[in-house]
A and B are shown apart, each in its own frame.
Chain A
Amino acid sequence: MSLPSPHEVEEAQREEVLTSGRPYEVLRALRGSLRELVRDKAGLFGVLVVLALVFVAIFAPWLAPHDPSRQSLSDRLVPPFWESGGSFTHVLGTDNLGRDVLSRIIYGARVSLLVGLSVVLLAGVVGTTLGLISGYRGGRVDAWIMGAVDTQVAFPGLLLALVILSVVSPSATSIIIVLALNGWMVYARMARGVVLSVKEMPYVEAAEIVGCRPRRVVARHILPNLASPLLTLAILEFARIVLAEAALSFLGLGIQPPQVSWGLMVAEGRAYIFRAWWLVTFPGAAIAITVLGINLLASWLRVAADPQEREKRFAATARTGSVA
């Protein structure tokens, strides 16, 4: 058998580039996942909620009917429009200072999104990098990094966050830093686990033998394996952070007035809970629906993006089919 001529090799390569980059294939894949999404009602709900959150956060100044911090003593504690005394001027009513509840909820989406994204980015980048280094290098570096992870996982995290926030002046920035310091370990553990499971694979060894530098091996050959689990983890963490920010703001250790946050709104409405139920109910419902949407998105994504999960689902239906 003769070796393929250089021309043949070149042609094969060109064909590979062409087929992998064919736009209609991308479109078909996209349409396929869209169809799957429409069939999965819960996943669709999650996607819509997250899209709505982003949309509302970006376009808050245009969407909000009123200035969220404008007080009006004559319009204090106006109920939502369907209760007697309510009107369409303030669709969801006003708070004890006459501020429009709907506008405040719309602006509150900005804080949730900002804090959530910043923490996930910060903790995710730091944690994943440390996990990759730890898994790829092994040895003493691995022992040190994982020792730090194990030690910090055993910390009473939320309580420490409370202590730190009670000493430094609470603000969006300090909340982001404290929550990121608290959350990087999960990414490090996951990244390290994936590295260890693929490090001995022939393609990684091949890349090393060919002479790739460690940075290239990790970035080009190992990192892609992380894409799907990392995305799911990041989304789940996002949901957790939105809840944590709301809880810290509720305790008065997070976002401070005059900034708007859903958790802060619940705290402010707490004193009026018997007279004005809407002050606590609506912002709390905003948190719950947002977090539920993010969680639904994550659980749909985990099944959709992971071949093993798909198989599990198939195996499960096959099993029940045979038993029944």
Chain B
Amino acid sequence: MGRFVVRRIARGLIVIFGVTVVVFVVTRLIGDPVKVMLPLEATPGERAAFAHRLGLDRPILVQFVDYVGQVARGNFGNSLWQNRPALQIIWERLPLTLELVFSAMALAVLVAIPFGMIAALRPGSVLDRVMITLSLIGLSIPQFWLGLLLIVVFAVRLKVLPVAGSGGLSHLLLPMVTLALPAIGRISMVVRSSMIDELNQQYVQTARAKGLPRARVVGVHALRNASVPALTLSGWELIRALAGYAVIVEVVFSWPGLGSLAEDAIQRQDLILLQAIVFVVAIMVVLINVLIDVAYKLIDPRIQLT
């Protein structure tokens, strides 16, 4: 187990290094940071001075080694937009994103598991088909659109919830539901399908035959085995939400987390801040991946960790 975790973290470091390389190459080679960050009317002299200040006039390999060295020491440089350490800005915004993402995923799992289980009890029944259709609708609605519709209905027409911003449960409710809905659709489909598989297994019949109540057989015996694929998917959903969907939902609801910070950094062409955000998100993604693999082992001892 210990060796496995160490190996997984080593692979995670490779991922983080890969992300660093990609971001570096993209921002330095494909795009011209000076052109991107300075206004159009800047003179060649101003451009050269700016490039020199950021060290962009040195050979690209020297720049890269220097960049990796700085990042390894936790120094991402100053944000060009706010002119203070990029990491400091990220620390201020990160808790809000984590609050949004984790509450949304908790909601998704809590809704999707009973949803999928009930559908699996009678495959092909009306209830099952209604559940499938609802799940498909949930995962087909674009989140940015759903968010806007929810704002119009609950914040503008009914005036029961705030339009945007953060603070308290009332602010969290709409973005949380928006972020959770597609995940609910996908997770409940997987729970349903793996539950149908499990309920056809012999151990379920054995458990029923020896007189265990049906609720216990379904809710304990079968659910434990059916939860392995659901767990995998939930982990992916968490990663997807953190490394993408949160940006969209945060922008729609003006939720002041990392996602809307990334949007701001893009709008203001603050590549240094953007690099730091991607790096921090990559670290979280790697950590979640390791945690999922460990959780596997705890749920299903048959899984061989290599």
Give the docked Cα–Cα distance between A246 and B289 (Å). Answer: 28
Contact A158 B140 (CB under 8 A): no
**Cross-chain contact A296 with B243 (CB below 8 angstroms):** no
Which residues of the other chain, A, contact B137 by a CB distance below 8 angstroms? 288, 292
Contacts of A250 in B (CB 8 A): 142, 144, 248
**Is there contact, CB below 8 Å, between A158 and B247?**
yes
CB contacts (< 8 Å) of A163 on chain B: these are 23, 26-27, 274-275, 278
**From B133, B248, B271, contact of A42 by CB (8 A):** B133
Does A304 reach chain B (CB closer than 8 Å)? no
Asked if A291 and B14 sit within 8 Å, CB to CB, the answer is no
Q: Does B299 contact A (CB under 8 A)?
A: no
Asked if A193 CB lies within 8 Å of chain B CBs, one says no
Whether A287 lies near B145 (C-beta < 8 A) is: yes
In the complex, the chain B residue whose C-beta lies closest to that of A169 is B31
Which of B12, B142, B285, B286 interacts with A284 by CB under 8 Å? B142
Contact between B142 and A291, CB atoms less than 8 A apart: yes
Map CB proximity to A onto B117-148 as digits: 1 under 8 Å, 0 otherwise.
Answer: 00000111100010011001101111111001
CB distance from A256 to the nearest CB of B (A): 14
| Residue of A162, A164, A316 with highest tally of chain B CB at under 10 A | A162
Interface range on chain B: under 10, 10 to 19, 20 to 34, or 35 or more?
35 or more
B49 at the interface (CB under 8 A from A): no
B144 and chain A: residue at smallest CB distance? A250
Q: Which residues of B contact A161 (CB under 8 A)?
A: 244
Q: Which of B101-109, B149-157, B172-180 contacts A (4 or more CB under 8 A)?
A: B149-157
Q: How far is the CB of B285 from chain A (nearest CB, A)?
A: 5
B34: interface (CB < 8 Å): no
Q: Is B272 positioned at the interface, with any CB of A under 8 Å from its CB?
A: no
Using CB atoms, name the residue of chain B closest to A159: B243
- Tell me if A273 is interfacial: C-beta within 8 Å of chain B: yes
Residue of A with least CB distance to B143: A247
Report if B84 contacts A (CB, 8 A): no
Is A313 engaged at the interface, CB distance under 8 Å to the other chain?
yes
Size bracket, chain A contacts: 35 or more
With A239-B140, A292-B137 as given contacts, are A155 and B19 in contact (CB-CB < 8 Å)? yes
User: A167 to B30, Cβ gap below 8 A?
Assistant: yes
Q: Which of A3-11, A25-33, A198-206, A274-282 lies at the interface with chain B?
A: A274-282
CB of B266 within 8 A of CB of A292, answer no
Give which listed residue, B139, B151, B262, contacts A295 with CB less than 8 A. B139
**Residue on B with the closest CB to A290?**
B140
Interface string of A142-163 (1 = CB under 8 A from B): 0000000011101111111111
Cross-chain contact B143 with A277 (CB below 8 angstroms): no
B140 touches A288 (CB 8 A): yes
**A66 on the B face (CB < 8 A):** no
Q: With an 8 A cutoff between CB atoms, is A263 at the interface? A: yes
> Closest chain A residue to B23 by CB distance?
A163
B111 within 8 A of A: no
Partner of B124, one of A156, A246, A266, A320: A320
Which 8 A/B pairs are nearest by Cβ-Cβ distance? Answer: A158-B244, A156-B243, A167-B31, A284-B145, A292-B140, A316-B123, A291-B140, A166-B266
Query: Which residues of B line the A interface, CB within 8 A?
Result: 11-12, 14-15, 18-19, 22-23, 26-27, 30-31, 36, 122-125, 129, 132-133, 136-137, 139-145, 148-149, 151-152, 156, 196-197, 199-200, 239-240, 242-245, 247-248, 251, 262-263, 266, 269, 271, 274-275, 277-278, 281-282, 285-286, 289
A-B contacts, 30 listed (Cβ < 8 Å)? A42-B129, A42-B133, A42-B136, A150-B11, A155-B22, A156-B243, A156-B244, A156-B285, A157-B244, A158-B245, A159-B243, A160-B23, A161-B244, A163-B27, A163-B278, A164-B26, A263-B142, A266-B148, A270-B148, A273-B148, A273-B156, A280-B152, A288-B142, A291-B141, A291-B142, A292-B140, A295-B140, A312-B196, A313-B123, A320-B123
